[in-house]
A and B are shown apart, each in its own frame.
Chain A
Amino acid sequence: QLQLQESGPKLVKPSETLSLTCSVSGGSISGNNYYWAWIRQPPGKGLEWIGSFHSSGNTYYNPSLKSRVLISAHTSRAQFSLRLNSVTAADTALYYCARRVVVVVPGTATYWYFDLWGRGTLVTVSS
């Protein structure tokens, strides 16, 4: 059973860099049918997609965060990471890593969904 686990500092100072790692156990992060994502949820608020990474090297970011975000992968260690620069209190959130499975149906459109999620890690931005 594939499992995802987020790890990293739980307290980050304003203007510094938030760094998190997602470790995937029971499998790998290779494979054409999967994107690996970071999603966050500020306390008491909704979900916000941060970005996704594919083992081919393709990476997609939320335009509102793109200038500050980097998602990278360490395929041999079955890990992928998030770096968010110049953080402020508004970046305080529960950060999830998740797997997005993509299904190509011949003759029709492609669909996807997030089928696996980590438990999330709360990161607080405060001095």
Chain B
Amino acid sequence: QSVLTQPPSVSAAPGQKVTISCSGSSSNIGNYYVSWYQQVPGTAPKVLIFANDKRPSVIPDRFSGSKSGTSATLGITGLRTGDEADYYCATWDSSVSGVVFGGGTRLTVL
């Protein structure tokens, strides 16, 4: 059972938009920055979003992040088949003094 709650799966058609939620509490998301990672099957995770809403320069602006209260959201627009992957949120949790990940969300582009 992950400290951060994500939907197990989401799906949408190519070209559409999808959002992935990450729900936590005041000991984690409520007081710390969130980062998001994409893991294409068979490969290592890759950072998409850091500090809630910032993108590394190599990440296209189709990917966006936001945070409100104790929840964070990853948005992906203009979906492509290449976006099919598992997506994880992560943050610090003061109650365990450590890094916590969400359980992951599998994105299917239909």
Contact = CB atoms under 8 A, between A and B. Distances in A.
Interface of A: 37, 46-49, 51-52, 60-63, 96, 100, 103, 109, 111-115, 117-120
A62 B47 contact: no
In terms of DSSP, what is the predominant structure of the interface of chain A? strand
B44 interface: yes
Contacts of A103: 51
A96 B44 CA distance: 8
A117 B45 contact: yes
Given A46-B2, A46-B104, A62 B45 contact: no
Contacts of A117: 44-46
A46 B44 contact: no
Chain B facing A: main interface SS = strand
Interface of B: 2, 32-33, 35, 37, 39, 43-47, 50-51, 56, 86, 88, 90, 92, 96-104
B47 A47 contact: no
A113 B51 contact: yes
B14 to A, nearest CB: 26
B98 A120 contact: no
A83 B75 CA distance: 38
A36 B103 CA distance: 22
A49 B47 contact: no
A43 B17 CA distance: 29
Nearest to A109: B33
A111 B33 contact: yes
A113 B96 contact: no
* Residue among A49, A111, A117, A119 facing the most chain B CB atoms (10 A cut-off): A111
13 contacts: A46-B104, A47-B101, A47-B104, A51-B98, A61-B98, A62-B96, A109-B32, A111-B33, A112-B50, A113-B90, A115-B47, A115-B56, A118-B44
A47 to B, nearest CB: 4
Contacts of A63: 96-98
